[in-house]
Every structure is written in C-alpha cells, then in structure tokens.
Structure 1
Amino acid sequence: MKASGIVEQVQLSLKLMVHQETNKVLFAEVGKDFVDVLISFLNFPLGTIARLVAKEGDMGSLKIASLRSLYESVVNLGDEYMFTDTCKEMLLQPRNPMEDYCRSMKLNVDDTEPTKYYVCKNFFECRRAPFVRCSTFKNKECSCGNLLEKQICPKNCISCDGFVKNSSCFMVTDDLCILPMSLDAMFSIIKKMDIEDMSSLKEIVVDVTKNELIDLLKCSLVSMTPFTYVFLGKKPCLQKTDSKIVFPSDFSEEQCTQVKVKIMYQKSDGKVVCAQGKEDFANFLLSILTFPLGAVLHLLQGNSSMGSVDGLYKSVVDLNEDLFISKELKDKLVNLGLAPQFKLSDQVLPISDFKAPEYYCVSKSSKSRITELYLTYGNLYISQDLHRTFNYLDMVDPISENVSTKGFVRGSTVYVATDNLVVSPTSSISAISLINNMNTTLGDIEEKEFSIGLKEDLSILKASLTSSLALTYGLAHLLTNAKREDFLLTKVRDEKCVVSDLGLKSLISVAKKKISHLYYRK
C-alpha cells in the first residue's frame, strides 16, 4: 500500500511486437501469469461472461447476442417460479469449475463470490453424529432442524497455482493463439503476414490492468484482433458468423433427452415469435448460463463463431502437456465439466460435471464451546490431539435431494421463450404484445409442435452466442421442413386429389422421410 493510503493496482507486463505500417499487433511475449488469465476465460460460465462484459469500461458494455437477454430474464423471473431459493443465485452467479485454480492467479477478473461452506449453527451438538451436514449456500436446513449458517473455512487443502508452469514462456498471436516461445514460431507469424522489412517492426511494452483484461475478454468474443484493438485502439476485425453445426462424432441422439415444444412462427419469413414448453424446456435454456465457455467450445467442436475464443481453445488443446502444471489439469481444461452440484437430472446436452472432493470437518472444543473449526479435503490431515474431532461432511444439494427431480424451475408452470431467449411464465397478454411488436397479422402466425433433440439443442446454443434470433436460427431446419409439409398438403388440395385421410397421412409421412433423408445427408 502506498503512503497516500491508495491500494496499488495489480498489473501484468506484456511485450508487444507491432507492425508499424498496418498498426497491428503480430504477437505478444508473455509469461505464466498472462497465459493463466487467457486460459481462465475458457473456464468462465456463460452467465459470468454475460455479467462481466456488460460492465462499462474503455470499450463500453457488450451484449452478447441472446445471452444477455437470457441472463436478464432470470433477473426478472419471480422467485415463486424457482425450484428453490438458491436457484436464481446459481444462474446469476454460476460457479467456475476451476475456481481454486483461478483464485490463485496473480490477476483474476472473475467477480463471482468465492464458494463458502456452512455447517449447523448448533454445530457443537451436531458434531456428535457420524457425519455433519454442510452446504455451499447459506441457510439450508440441517437434519436437526436448525439452519446451516455457521461459516467454516478451508485449511490444509491442496494448493493451486494457476494452469501453466512458472518457468514457461509463451507467444500469443493477435487472435489469442498461445504458442511456446520459439524462433520458428516467430518467423512463421512474420512470414504469414508477408512482412519483408524487419525495420517496420517495433516492440512496445504495456502494463495491463484488470479493466483492460475485461476489455480483452469482450474483444475476444467478437473480434479476431483483440490485442490490436485493446492496446492500439484500432477498430476490431469482426468474425463472420457461421451457423453450421458440426455434429460431435462421439455423441448420438440417444444421449440427449427429447424435449417437446410448441413453436409460434411467421409463415411469411419463418421468424420465430416464441416457443412454449414445460419445465424441461425452460431448464435447458436457463442451464446455458451455467455452461463453462470451454465446455461449450468442446461441444461445438471449436466452431462457435465467437471472435478469437475458438482459436484460444484449440491452442490450449494443442499445447504440450509438459507446459501445464500436470497432465490431469490439461485434461480437465480440454474436457471441462460443470461445477459440482450444477448438473440437472434432465440435463439435455451431454456435459458432465466435476465431482467435489470428500470434505471433512476438523473441530476443537473447550468448556462446551468450539475453539477451532475448519474444513479440509480428503484424508489430508488427521490430528492426534484428543481434543479435536474429525467429521465427514455430507454436502447438501442446493436444488433437490431427489436427483430425479432436479431442475431450476418449478414443474407446475408452462414457460415461454422469445426469439432472443427471454424466458418467462406463459402469458396471453405477453403473446399478443410479441405479435404486435413484430408488425405481423394473426393470419401470418402458424403454430406447430416439435420434439427437439441434440441437433436442435446445439443449434440453439450456438445461435444464442452469435444472434438475437436464437430460436429462428436454432430451429430453422425444423421450420423449413414444416413449410415443405404445408406446401405438399396445399398442393394436394389445390389439385383436388381424391385421397382418404389415411392416404393423405401416408403421403405426408413419405414426404417427411424424404425431407429428413435429404437434411441429414447434408
């Protein structure tokens, strides 16, 4: 702390290689601390990213396609529709599955509250049981009937130190590809830029603050040149959106739960007005906020069309495991899962969750009161002191103790989602307002029911990151098929073909199979 009483702001120093003629950053020479920050971006849940990039800064706030409206709809969703009192907090402050690693970094831009642990306020009595109930959310109920409100802090736990080894040096290109430091890599970058005159290159040293790192996060989501924009102030080069979904080769439709939805759309242009479904549909959309960015990129096979993050993820996949603190850590980063306790019973997309370690509570008492109390992982520390008690902690599920009915919203309500993923309880008045806002007529509105699976869920997920018409783009192929069916039906009627109801159904069934065959061949 300085003499004036002002806390000195933590900064990271970078060396930038700049091409003066084009005013463009070619690459940066960086150490462990900066690479740790870039990798941490991939660990942030989408809800955290939506919250962070909405902050004002030198770059201003950023609204990511439909993600921001989805986040804001949770803010506005009444508590009476949430399954438990912690569900809204879990969606608005989703936990980072690599939280312990990020907390240990020199500069961490994640403002999510650290995970806290709570035991019974009457712990002195409860510790006599073979196990003690513990929650990572305050005021859950203990088995004795009291509230879990007494905070217990971790101690003697495994220490984490970021993601890559301290001795490693790296180069990071303007589009955030991380490379081991080497002359070969440097010359390859220069050659790729068709630079002949080496005197046109200039080294610039910059000190990066937390606010600039948040701006870098914003740029990484929309631009292929985030370094050039943040550090040289040049207009970012935006990436063109590719709506194509690459189906993961190791996934199948059988792995994905089918969800029934009613789609209301305009016949004239195929735009979705809204989609209506039960709690499984609402849970799928809301759970998107809990997905870590790296897990989403893994699902989309590195094809999110979001700025530079595809290249960042691929470079982490390609980095030699020897550069990471451990091989196991790299495997975790490449195959990210949800934070512990965030997976739903009807989880639609095949994203696993990280399992929490076994927690134990160590306590010491004197004269009928607790004098020492802390949490530890696993069997790392067992005291020989007879005055200490060692209890296994039974972790309380923040949503439901019944794993078969675990969801964020209540099942007694029908939910509606707008094209930009504003989720709310169904309302007739809201539906009329939506139709009016789209400047269309009631005769142009069509409603059809579909069962959506893995292909549609991935399409909606990707569209939510790149478009404010998430449902229109995510379900475009279903609506196209529906329009073809309507065309066939109209054609049959116009030609006054005499067919029985059974024959008409058969004709439409054959048409559906042909359309489906053509679609999946693509």
Structure 2
Amino acid sequence: MEKNYVSLKLLIDTERERVLFAEAGKEFVDFLLHILALPLGTFIPLFEKQGMVPGSFGNIYESIDNLSSINCLQSKVDKETLLKAKVDISDDGGTTNNEVPLQLKMLNVASSATSMKFYKCPREDQKCDLHVASYYRTICPMCQNAMKRELSLVHPPSTQRGYVKEVVTYMVMDDLEVKPMSTTSTFTLLNKFNVKEMGALEEKVVVLGMDEGMKLIKASFQSKRVLTDVFLPTLNEEVK
C-alpha cells in the first residue's frame, strides 16, 4: 500500500520546550525540497482546504480569480495557469503524478492539473529547434508559425527519484535547515544550544501526515521554530 505519511525522530529540550532537531530520512527531506518547486499559488487552495486562513496573499489569488479575462488580462494569459499551475514531478522513472516524492497525497497540486507540456515549431529547421514554449500555439520567433508540436519529457530512472540520496540520514533543524547527520554535528549542536543536562533531552517519534504537512508549510512562512510550533503542541496535549 502507498504510504501517506513519514516518520520523524525529534530531539526535544524539555527545559526550554523546543525541538532541537529532527532525525529524518530521504522522504522528509524530499518533501521539504519539493516545496521550493511549487508555485506560490499552489498553497492557497491547499490552506483553504485544511481550514487555514492564507492571509493577505490569499487576496492576490482571489483577485486574479475575479479579474475579467477579456477586460483586464492579456490575451496570452491563461487564468487557469496562474491559479492551478501545472507542476511536473518525476516519481518512479517515467510515471508522473502531482504528488510529492514522499507520497504524501496532500500536495496533488490541482485535480485538473497534468504534467507540464512543452512545444516546438513543426518546421524541421535548426534555428526553429532552438526554441521551446510551454504554451500551445505560441508564435515561433524565427518563422512566425504556431508552436504546436508536443515534445516528450524524459524522466530519470527510478533509482534517482526525488532530490536527495537514500543512504544518508539527515538532521533537520527547528528552522528547517538541512544537513547530513553525524555524531560530530550532534555534539556541535548541543554545545551551540548550551545543553548541560542530558537528562533534559527527550526523543519522540512523530508522524507527518496531511494535517501536519500543511501546518509545517504555513509555519515555514511565519516562524523560525517550525518543528517546535507544529509538533510540540500536539505532544503536550497527548501528555495531558
């Protein structure tokens, strides 16, 4: 069965009530890096679907939706392209879907969106072949013909899916900085935060699913204590 969550091991400083870092595998780091590949407009309907208020940025999204395509927008502008951006995501070596590499179903960008397509001029001409368009029937700058010949996108083999290698264990800081995990880096971090009492440290395994993933994305825009803000309130409630 396809897994709709990933696990993280948090190291928590119980005295300061904060997450020092998370021990994470490839899937979670791929999720974080994949956020960078998503258009900002992607997040608005996702936040609203989870009952989260997107703030002022949501007003830009709503404004575009309300603007008249005839009176306000350039003829070449497709409103659907702005509101439901098409994102191509390579998953299993040739299979494309609109899900993040870690198989969280929270980020299927838009139900109507498909993988991005590219077009070239139908003429067999070396100068024309130098130009590629993402919009169907864009005018070729060399010969003025409509660029409508669809190109095939070649995906990497399944062994190269996602962004980072699977053999490495990663350390994800509270502010989402990512680095390879090692004994040296762990002790360096403990010294940085002036941790004197090892007994104050506690390990907790948490699950990142749809709700936690959306909270994490939103918190990353607002906070430098993302892991603390997302996971500690839930853990504290479980204790109570």
TM-score, normalised to structure 1's length?
0.36
Q: 1:336 to 1:276 in 2, by over 3 A?
A: same
SS where residue 443 of structure 1 aligns?
helix
Q: What code does the residue aligned with 1:437 have? A: K
Q: What code does the residue aligned with 2:186 have? A: A
* Alpha-carbon distance, 1:354 to partner: 5.0
Q: 1:288 aligns with which of 17, 29, 35?
A: 35
SS where residue 22 of structure 2 aligns?
strand
Residue 107 of structure 2: aligned partner: 350
Q: 1:476 aligns with which of 216, 232, 240?
A: 232
Q: 1:336 to 1:347 in 2, by over 3 A?
A: farther
Q: What code does the residue aligned with 1:418 have? A: M
Q: What code does the residue aligned with 1:317 have? A: D
5 Å-filtered alignment, 1:265-280, equals: 265-280=12-27
5 Å-filtered alignment, 1:21-32, equals: none
Q: Does 1:303 align with 2:90?
A: no
5 Å-filtered alignment, 1:70-219, equals: none
Q: 1:276 to 1:482 in 2, by over 3 A?
A: farther
> CA offsets per residue over residues 240-283 of structure 1, 9 Å max, x none?
xxxxxxxxxxxxxx998200110111223431010111100111
> CA offsets per residue over residues 407-453 of structure 1, 9 Å max, x none?
00011111110001111111122122222222332111100112210
Aligned-pair identity in percent equals 24
Q: What code does the residue aligned with 1:336 have? A: A
| In structure 2, C-alpha distance between the alignment counterparts of 1:293 and 1:358, rounded to whole Å | 21
Residue 52 of structure 1: aligned partner: none
Matched-pair contact (CA < 8 Å) for 2:5–2:103: no
Matched-pair contact (CA < 8 Å) for 1:419–1:468: yes
Q: 1:473 to 1:392 in 2, by over 3 A?
A: closer
Q: Note the residue ranges of structure 2 that are not aligned, 5 or more in a row.
A: 91-97, 140-148
| In structure 2, C-alpha distance between the alignment counterparts of 1:371 and 1:472, rounded to whole Å | 54
Q: What code does the residue aligned with 1:273 have? A: L
| In structure 1, C-alpha distance between the alignment counterparts of 2:128 and 2:218, rounded to whole Å | 49
Residue 215 of structure 2: aligned partner: 459
Q: Which has the higher contact order (CA 8 A, sep 6+)?
A: 2
SS where residue 11 of structure 2 aligns?
strand
SS where residue 394 of structure 1 aligns?
coil
Q: 1:363 to 1:409 in 2, by over 3 A?
A: same
Residue 448 of structure 1: aligned partner: 204
Q: 1:318 to 1:375 in 2, by over 3 A?
A: closer
* Alpha-carbon distance, 1:475 to partner: 1.5
Matched-pair contact (CA < 8 Å) for 1:263–1:449: yes
* Alpha-carbon distance, 1:321 to partner: 4.8
Residue 228 of structure 1: aligned partner: none
Q: What code does the residue aligned with 1:435 have? A: L
| In structure 1, C-alpha distance between the alignment counterparts of 2:2 and 2:173, rounded to whole Å | 27
Q: 1:359 to 1:327 in 2, by over 3 A?
A: closer
TM-score, normalised to structure 2's length?
0.72
SS where residue 35 of structure 2 aligns?
helix
Q: What code does the residue aligned with 2:226 have? A: A
Q: 1:435 to 1:396 in 2, by over 3 A?
A: same
Q: Note the residue ranges of structure 1 that are not aligned, 5 or more in a row.
A: 1-253, 365-369, 382-390, 485-522
| In structure 1, C-alpha distance between the alignment counterparts of 2:36 and 2:232, rounded to whole Å | 23
| In structure 2, C-alpha distance between the alignment counterparts of 1:462 and 1:314, rounded to whole Å | 18
Q: What code does the residue aligned with 1:396 have? A: V
Residue 182 of structure 2: aligned partner: 427
Matched-pair contact (CA < 8 Å) for 2:117–2:151: no
SS where residue 107 of structure 2 aligns?
coil
Q: 1:283 to 1:325 in 2, by over 3 A?
A: same
Q: What code does the residue aligned with 1:331 have? A: E
Q: Indicate the RMSD between aligned Cα atoms, in angstroms.
A: 3.4
Q: What code does the residue aligned with 2:64 have? A: V
> CA offsets per residue over residues 154-213 of structure 1, 9 Å max, x none?
xxxxxxxxxxxxxxxxxxxxxxxxxxxxxxxxxxxxxxxxxxxxxxxxxxxxxxxxxxxx
| In structure 2, C-alpha distance between the alignment counterparts of 1:264 and 1:362, rounded to whole Å | 60
Q: What code does the residue aligned with 1:443 have? A: G
